[in-house]
Amino acid sequence: MTAPALRGRVTLEDIAHACDLSRATVSLVLRGSPLVNAETRARVEAELKRQGYVYHRGAANLRRRESSTVALLINDLSNPFFAEFAAGVDEALAAAGYVTLLGSTGESSERQQTVLASLLEHDPAGIILSPAEGTDPARLRTLLGMRTPMLVFNRALGGDWDYLGLDNTHGARLATEHLLAQGHRRIAFFGGHEASSSCHERRAGYRAALADAGLSPEPQWIVECSPTRLEAARQTGALFVRDPAPTAAVCYNDAVALGLIAGLSTRGRRAGHDFAVTGFDDIPEAAVSAPPLTTVAVDPRARGRQAASLILQRLRDPATPSAATIAPVSLHLRASSQFTLPGDAA
């Protein structure tokens, strides 16, 4: 039995020949040009479908000497905050005619280098990066060179890249001031790692609010853990190993806060009843958790759209100086923190 001949990639010339049209006309159809009449367009589109033509975006980019893709690299796609952020990026890029190339690093700087190198093979017009913990800016610069514009999101790396961050210090201050107003004086900061710029900034806001109230946190009230729900639940006991134990916690993010609420429950405590909890991000689940979570709202989907807008602006004006943009935050009060501590328990 003779094996069937392997068929090569269907080309524009194949489509043009079958339709008795020029290659240029077929190309205009692919680009959605209004110069092609409806009848010709329909004939070409039918032939494209019949022959199974696949648009070779990379080759098109080389011909046009530009790219219609933007790479988005996320440090923790399992976190709903980053899922919302990615959705916002994709919405805004699609509206501008770009395709999003998505990668996730799982908080590994080594994985980040590997995934970024792979994404660069597609020659994206620009990159939006939420860096993994422990990212080395020098290694990134070596990999990227000077030709690919990049916007850094959430964790500052320094250097001459554009940066979009959150007002972390102010947000954590708002959460801490709220707990102080509820009568709490033993307030923990729970989750995250000090080496992360966002965690460092949030701790600074927490400490500043306590200092303004004439308070200083006990060392055991600052608990480090990976910023995930599961790890936060596992580390809940660390808050209660030594007296005086805290009565409230400012959490690094919503995932940590929800994990802490679960961990409290296993210890016979109830957030919003005998322990106050605040989060940071306002992911969709925060409003419907049990109890609903008081949190610092940053609107992650809007931040995604903002990140896309900033990288597109950089592509339009590549010579402008790099800039840092800090997005505002606000505190959304819900039941997880809404109880007043009796004066003798503070």
| DSSP codes joined into one string, 252-280 | SSHHHHHHHHHHHHHTT--BTTTBEEEEE
3-state secondary structure of 329: coil
The torsion of the CA quartet 112, 117, 121, 124, rounded to 10 degrees, works out to 50
- Residues 12-55: name the CATH superfamily: lambda repressor-like DNA-binding domains (1.10.260.40)
Position of tokens 């077929």?
26
**Cβ neighbour number for residue 244 with a 10 Å cutoff:** 10
Burial group, residue 312, by CB count within 10 angstroms (0-12, 13-18, 19+): buried
Q: Note the helical H segments in 20-120.
A: 23-30, 38-51, 57-64, 80-95, 109-120
pLDDT in tens, 116-153: 999 988 889 999 999 998 999 999 988 887 778 999 99
Euclidean distance between CA atoms 46 and 26, whole angstroms: 12
**pLDDT reported for residue 55:** 61
- What's the mean pLDDT when you consider all of the chain? 90
Euclidean distance between CA atoms 99 and 89, whole angstroms: 10
Confidence of residue 48 (pLDDT cuts 50, 70, 90): confident
Q: Which residue has the higher pLDDT, 161 or 29?
A: 161
Fold match, 12-55 / 68-166+300-329: no
Percent of the chain with pLDDT over 90: 72
Q: What is the CA radius of gyration of the chain?
A: 26
Q: Reply yes or no on whether the pLDDT at 177 is more than 90.
A: yes
Confidence of residue 345 (pLDDT cuts 50, 70, 90): low
**pLDDT reported for residue 62:** 43
**pLDDT reported for residue 46:** 92
pLDDT in tens, 269-325: 999 999 999 999 999 999 999 999 999 999 999 999 999 999 999 999 988 999 999
Boundaries of every domain in the chain = 12-55, 68-166+300-329, 169-299+331-345
Q: Reply yes or no on whether the pLDDT at 1 is more than 50.
A: no
In contact, 75 and 135? CB cutoff 8 Å: no
Euclidean distance between CA atoms 42 and 39, whole angstroms: 5
Task: Report the pLDDT averaged over residues 94-114.
Answer: 94
**pLDDT reported for residue 5:** 38
For 108, the token pair is 């590994």
Q: Look up residue 32 and give its amino acid.
A: G
Q: Reply yes or no on whether the pLDDT at 344 is more than 60.
A: no
For 276, the token pair is 């106050």
- Residues 169-299+331-345: name the CATH superfamily: Response regulator (3.40.50.2300)
In contact, 267 and 236? CB cutoff 8 Å: yes
Euclidean distance between CA atoms 66 and 27, whole angstroms: 16
Q: For domain 68-166+300-329, is the CATH number 1.10.3720.10? A: no
pLDDT in tens, 57-84: 545 544 444 678 999 999 998 899 999 9
**pLDDT reported for residue 64:** 44
In contact, 85 and 28? CB cutoff 8 Å: no
pLDDT in tens, 219-263: 999 999 999 999 999 999 999 999 899 999 999 999 999 999 999
**pLDDT reported for residue 121:** 84
